[in-house]
Structure 1
Amino acid sequence: MDVVQTKRNEAVRMETLAKLPVFWDLTGKAVVLCGGSDAAAWKAELLLACGAQLHIYCPQRSLGETMCSLTVRDLPNPAAAILHHDTEWSAECFLGAVLAIADCDDEQDAEVFFEAAKRAGVPANVIDKPQFCQFQFGSIVNRSPVVVSISTDGAAPILAQAIRRRIETLLPHSLQGWADMAQSLRERVNGKLAPGNARRNFWERFVDRAFTEKADELMQDKLISDIHHAFGGGEGTYGKVTLVGAGPGDAELLTLKAVRALQAADIILFDDLVSDEVLELARREAKRMLVGKRGGRTSCKQEDINTMMINFAKAGKRVVRLKSGDPMIFGRAGEEIAALEAQDIPVEVVPGVTAASAMASRLGVSLTHRDHAQSVRFVTGHSRLGHLPENLDWNALASPTVTTVFYMGGRTATEIKSRLIEHGMSDCTPLVIMSAITRAGERRWCGRLSDLDAGIIEIGVDEPVLIGIGNAFAPALERREQPIEHFVQMAV
């Protein structure tokens, strides 16, 4: 008995649901709506958009302005109809109806309506009275035939609306045309392409285009060409690689395009600095592989990473190479792109928020404030050999009109300080050191160039640090209430 019960529990794949989400075809079906308020009018618009035959029961004198305008205007769905009954509802109104909705002033009226609908066997909903609802209306994102509905089981409608706004930003309005096109192409695809890689690759390419291109007649011709191409066994059996910028750590700083890439990936090769919050946005089925490179630690060789991307893509996989910050800034993206292009593997780059931009936003400073700097430079703090690059223009970096941000400069900070002072920079120049930017463990130190060594000791080098130097950081010092020179702030 215990063994059977354990196996049964292991087989459960769906957690408890507050309500079953159901999408109901109302085309040509009779629906009863009692009431003439604005709330009732909104439900009427929703039902009519679904093609319902809507029967409104409400005396003319009680019809609100919105409902009155609805009864006389043209309907967007040709299958819909609206019939106004200038009377209160009665038990007979439920005959032949598939749904019943009402807007009742008090609990007693709501209960009477609810019980009458139940006796007639018609599912009922009394607006804003969840105790008298057999079903609920979710907050809707409409890209019909793509429809997304969000419910909080009546607990927090405002939260459902906030979720809807988030989803709205992710789904382009052109998605409707793409869904229609998918419907028209499905039989042709199934007839030409056998289940497996060829069919899956076609639909994955289709989805890629759905989020980036227009669904017009020319696109349909391209898609038909893709079907014949895949059927003939030509190119297109390869997957693709997308280099994605994960930003400094805060998942909310990801671009929409980055999120879409993560949610479409089969394989994710991610750096050590990519946050768990970012990885949580990835497709659940995606295989995640850590290929991070960290100074002073055992690291995955770049050549091995290149080989992995090439092999996975040749196996038809959609690979995301997920890099902290922006992949095109100190991310060795150039080497990876060259390796992929040499194998004729499609590669795309999705930019991310680089650490210097995140540093500026966290400090509330402009790196190119016109009163302080006329240029900004991002400089690597170590070369391939682990020390400062030998070809840096220290005269230019020491200029008071330049804002300089050193990446990965924790272990070379002492030499950075001496070189800048040697080439004429004042040792009083404002300076900020930050680590774990935008993460829970963010640390920052504000001071002067003369105290750079002390700042590095305070911050430490266990995490990669950014060193920002220049008069643009002066406001960050001025905002401090305490003496700044040895101030360390832990992010809250």
Structure 2
Amino acid sequence: MDVLQLQPSDWNARPARMAPLAKLPVFWALEGKRAIIAGGSDAAAWKAELLAACGAEIQVYAEELSETFANLINHDDRFFHHRKQWSPASFEGAAIAVADCEDDEAAATFYEAACGAGVPVNVIDNPKYCQFQFGSIVNRSPVIVAISTDGAAPILAQAIRRRIETLLPPSLKSWAALAHAVREKVNARLSPGAPRRAFWEGFVNRAFGPAPGNDTEGNLLSEAGRFEAMAKASTGRVTLVGAGPGDAELLTLKAVRALQGADVILFDDLVSDEVLELARREAKRLLVGKRGGRTSCKQEDINAMMISLAKAGKHVVRLKSGDPMIFGRAGEEIAHLAKEGIPVDVVPGITAACAMAARLGVSLTHQDHAQAVRLVTGHARSGDLPTNLDWQVLAEQQTTTIFYMGGRTANQIRERLLAAGMDRKTPVVVMSAITRINETRWLGAIDDLPKAMEVVGPDDPVLIGIGTVFAQATLSQRTESGISQLQSVAIALPDERWGVQ
């Protein structure tokens, strides 16, 4: 088999991109810089204290100070109080200017003077006279998290900050300081690329545990030496990652960590942009999707790519829609990689059948309706139905059956099940683009399955759920208004023979 040669034009088939930003988040070094504060209010005091915490020299222009501001100045030698109003000369040599102004006229005057002097300016609580804004801050310095809502909802930013505060342990401050202290020493011991990144990934996992001890630095440096030795003796690795049905919030934490640690990402055509947005931006991305009825990348080429890249020392993430081990041909990929001695990890994902059940609010194993669930492929390699399916078993009333990729064979599925004795009124749900904004669903009976494909269409991957557990889904759709968010919905109402009222 010829090994597929990658060309520069192959990379970034779906380029890494940043979604639009209301403002650019920038972390600004102010140590020893001159900062202008105009006004003596409590609001001005808070901004002055924030700038002083960054090491700035605070020049305060105010004839009167609030009690809070006066106490702050009396106990901190970084503040210099000028008992007068600011003037254009005040901006000389300044790096930043902040004012609390009584009205728009005063705000405009201060804003224009600062801009004329080339000094970035913020007028408190007056966005139209701000070149920058202050965010809500989580302080684990040198780790700093700032949250902004572009002034639209400050209370939301505060709520987000509270959430983040609970996620970041206080010890993170010590770990970040330790990283700063050992960074040059570690990087001197480790080659750039995979070995260095693998070390720092391990460091990050520790950083969310107990605080570092006195011997932690020495242990880290010893560990860096071991990583370098292992890197010289080993190839890369491959991680098969389940991307789930499309909604990025359904990714596992382990999947996100794998995406953040990848050198190369080989992703399916069905993986959403929202999922790829969570990947490491420096990772190379290559679309290797396989779609029925379309020109696709061959499985042999994908196997060759993974082997070639891993042997070059890369961490390859094979990103698959749904779960890698459910109709994802993961078995073939694992076998080929194992034959070449390449280590493989598997990160499970939410498979489409589970996502379908969740979206419909239906238990696939409801004890009143089903004692088994079967996941069945709707097409073989030839594109037709598999020839070895036991249709008598699939037609059993006490079984929930989910056909994957059954859009083009839906009519054959109907004919085979009816021929095997299935009741023509057995409930059926057909869905595509599950959990995505263009999610489409059809609800009806097995006898009407051909109509489903007129609504859902055969082009996108289709999931067909068959069984009496889906009767309740059709009933709920009669009364719930939530379906309005869907692109398409068709409902064939059940009757009394489904055993529901």
TM-score greater than 0.5 by the shorter chain: yes
Match of 1:205 in 2: 198
Instruction: Confirm whether residue 269 of structure 1 aligns to residue 269 of structure 2.
Output: no
* Cα distance, 1:192–1:265 mapped onto 2, change above 3 Å: closer
Structure 2: distance between partners of 1:446 and 1:90: 71
* Cα distance, 1:251–1:115 mapped onto 2, change above 3 Å: closer
Structure 2: where are the runs of 5+ without partners? 1-19, 480-485, 490-501
Aligned residue for 2:431, secondary structure, equals strand
Structure 2: distance between partners of 1:226 and 1:422: 65
Match of 1:398 in 2: 396
Contact residue 401 and residue 467 of structure 2 kept, 8 A: yes
Instruction: Confirm whether residue 47 of structure 1 aligns to residue 51 of structure 2.
Output: yes
The worse-fitting range, judged by mean Cα deviation, of 50-59 and 314-323 is: 50-59
Match of 2:225 in 1: 228
Match among 199, 203, 207 for residue 214 of structure 1 = 207
Structure 1: distance between partners of 2:204 and 2:407: 41
The worse-fitting range, judged by mean Cα deviation, of 472-481 and 121-130 is: 121-130
Match among 352, 356, 365 for residue 353 of structure 2 = 356
State the 1:348 CA deviation.
3.1
State the 1:192 CA deviation.
3.3
State the 1:469 CA deviation.
1.5
> What amino acid maps onto 1:203 in structure 2?
R
Structure 1: where are the runs of 5+ without partners? 1-14, 483-488
Match of 2:428 in 1: 431
Instruction: Confirm whether residue 23 of structure 1 aligns to residue 31 of structure 2.
Output: no
Instruction: Confirm whether residue 467 of structure 1 aligns to residue 472 of structure 2.
Output: no
> What amino acid maps onto 1:388 in structure 2?
P
Contact residue 264 and residue 318 of structure 1 kept, 8 A: yes
Aligned residue for 2:193, secondary structure, equals helix
Structure 1: distance between partners of 2:21 and 2:437: 32
State the 1:205 CA deviation.
0.8
Match among 221, 244, 250 for residue 247 of structure 1 = 244
State the 1:374 CA deviation.
5.5
Equivalent residue pairs, number = 457
Contact residue 391 and residue 420 of structure 2 kept, 8 A: no
State the 1:240 CA deviation.
2.7
State the 1:466 CA deviation.
0.6
Structure 1: distance between partners of 2:304 and 2:57: 61
State the 1:223 CA deviation.
3.8
Contact residue 353 and residue 463 of structure 2 kept, 8 A: yes
Match among 283, 286, 291 for residue 289 of structure 1 = 286
Contact residue 141 and residue 148 of structure 1 kept, 8 A: yes
State the 1:432 CA deviation.
0.8
Aligned residue for 1:199, secondary structure, equals coil
State the 1:199 CA deviation.
2.3
Deviations 1:115-148 (A, max 9, x none): 8878999765321234554654345565532445
Contact residue 202 and residue 226 of structure 1 kept, 8 A: no
Deviations 1:199-225 (A, max 9, x none): 222331134335544364587556423
Structure 2: distance between partners of 1:423 and 1:242: 41
Structure 2: distance between partners of 1:329 and 1:58: 69
Structure 2: distance between partners of 1:96 and 1:455: 71
Match among 300, 305, 316 for residue 302 of structure 2 = 305
> What amino acid maps onto 2:51 in structure 1?
L
> What amino acid maps onto 2:50 in structure 1?
L
Match among 364, 385, 388 for residue 387 of structure 1 = 385
* Cα distance, 1:134–1:387 mapped onto 2, change above 3 Å: closer
Match of 1:9 in 2: none
Q: CA RMSD in A?
A: 4.9
Aligned residue for 1:446, secondary structure, equals strand
Percent sequence identity is: 53
* Cα distance, 1:371–1:147 mapped onto 2, change above 3 Å: same
Structure 1: distance between partners of 2:258 and 2:162: 17
TM-score (norm 1): 0.71
* Cα distance, 1:405–1:46 mapped onto 2, change above 3 Å: farther
TM-score (norm 2): 0.70
Contact residue 59 and residue 86 of structure 1 kept, 8 A: yes
Contact residue 192 and residue 231 of structure 1 kept, 8 A: yes
Contact residue 181 and residue 220 of structure 1 kept, 8 A: yes
Between the two structures, name the one with larger relative contact order (CA 8 Å, sep ≥ 6). Answer: 2
Match among 41, 47, 52 for residue 36 of structure 1 = 41
* Cα distance, 1:22–1:444 mapped onto 2, change above 3 Å: closer
Contact residue 175 and residue 211 of structure 1 kept, 8 A: no
Match of 2:179 in 1: 182
